[in-house]
Amino acid sequence: MYTKNFEDNIKKELENLKQAGKFKVEREIEGAQGPEVEIKGKKFLMFASNNYLGLANNPEVVKSAKEALDTYGFGLSSVRFISGTETIHKQLEKKLAEFLGVEGAILYSTNFMANLGFFASLTNEAFGSDGNHVDAIYSDELNHASIIDSFKLCKKESVIKRIYKHGDLKMLEQMLEEDKEKNYRFKIIVTDGVFSMEGYLADLPKIKEISEKHEALLFVDDAHAVGVLGSTGAGTPEHFGLHGKIDVLSGTFGKALGGAVGGYIAGKKELIELLRQKSRTYIFSNSVPPSVVMASLRVLELLKEKPELLSKVSENAKYFREGAKKLGFNVLEGNHPIVPVMLNDAKITQDMSKKLLEHGLYVVGLWFPVVPEGTARLRFQVSAAHTKDQIDQALKILGDVGKEMSLI
């Protein structure tokens, strides 16, 4: 029964979120995702989307989705191992593995589900006979929420979790050194490929070296890098010359690769097979809809047919980053289309994102607790679909509002 007690407590919690500045407002976009969007009949320049390649409303991607609807229908009403596997699921898994340069891949409904499914499937062995933990996971403290939550599905008696400070690879090494004599069955290092609050890349060459030295499996969540970094868009491994050399990758079709839904784990074939057998978020959750699968196949082809999309997003990001710096803002350096403009003060950031929106520029402001205290920022996300004119307009608005608020 939904008692007054429930109602009062829920209302109180909502109020607390508002007071703490953590209440999220959802703006209603009328129409497709793109470099410009429409809200209440007014156009806004969109700089707050993960639509890095501009494929979210690409006519060819949409056409493939429509064809799939005609051929395969809307949904499969089943999980993969009961009656939910279509030939196109297998094709996408094969093409994805080829694209990433690995032996196999398994689709999940989202990257979040993929991460949740992975760690518990691989670990969760019975309690060690001597009362010790069986496996150990080493994780960057700023890894995505889905990785942090995935640990909660690992039995705490079986798996020890060790969290190292963001990017502190000396600390990671030290932890592995300390654990040398512990004889864990598996040691797993996990990192985001790109950290989305800053657009910073994990130092994969160094992490890989550490993982090899200590015989630890290396898991990279490349959600913000796949379709963005590397000469063919295969992500951070390709960017660092490590294409096909990372043990396990997870990623999403929900950002650069079409922007709908769908996640994956990719790596060695027996590992993928184990996930098909044991991964609860795969086994007990519906298969990815055919329209998304066919459209995603088309996205992988488009990456080959139109390599200019990758160079365009990178050029656009550079152009925007340089432009924002020239205006006099403190901009984080980087080579990812996430471009944080640092304002440091939460109140200023809140006010500025509101003002930018009033001027037609849609960008997200981030402040504590989403980012560390004193590091509030506007997070711009640049797309290959932005024209030079649209980027110039965004910079003009940023400059005008910055001057109006006496920030530059």
Ligand X SMILES: Cc1ncc(COP(=O)(O)O)c(C=O)c1O
Interface with ligand X (CB under 6 A): 110-112, 144, 146, 192, 196, 221, 223-224, 252, 254, 263
255 is catalytic: yes
Q: Which is nearer to ligand X, 26 or 130 (CB)?
A: 26
Q: How far is CA 355 from the centre of its chain?
A: 28
Give CA–CA dist 323/317, Å, rounded. 10
> Shortest approach of ligand X to residue 256 CB, angstroms?
11
Give CA–CA dist 131/296, Å, rounded. 46
> Shortest approach of ligand X to residue 111 CB, angstroms?
3
> Shortest approach of ligand X to residue 112 CB, angstroms?
3
* Torsion on CA atoms 155, 160, 165, 170, rounded to nearest 10: -150
Q: Which is nearer to ligand X, 34 or 254 (CB)?
A: 254
Give me the residues paired with residue 43 across strands.
38
Residue 122 half-sphere exposure toward CB, CA atoms < 13 A: 22
Q: Which is nearer to ligand X, 202 or 401 (CB)?
A: 202
Q: Which of 224, 243, 336, 386 is catalytic?
A: 224
> Shortest approach of ligand X to residue 279 CB, angstroms?
15
Q: Which of 161, 166, 187, 255 is catalytic?
A: 255
Under the phi-then-psi rule, with left for phi > 0, alpha for psi from -120 to 50, and beta for the rest, what region is 339? beta
Q: Which is nearer to ligand X, 118 or 240 (CB)?
A: 118
> Shortest approach of ligand X to residue 227 CB, angstroms?
12
> Shortest approach of ligand X to residue 118 CB, angstroms?
11
Q: Which is nearer to ligand X, 111 or 123 (CB)?
A: 111
> Shortest approach of ligand X to residue 373 CB, angstroms?
22
Q: Which is nearer to ligand X, 191 or 375 (CB)?
A: 191
Q: Which is nearer to ligand X, 179 or 221 (CB)?
A: 221
Catalogue the active-site residues.
Answer: 196, 224, 255
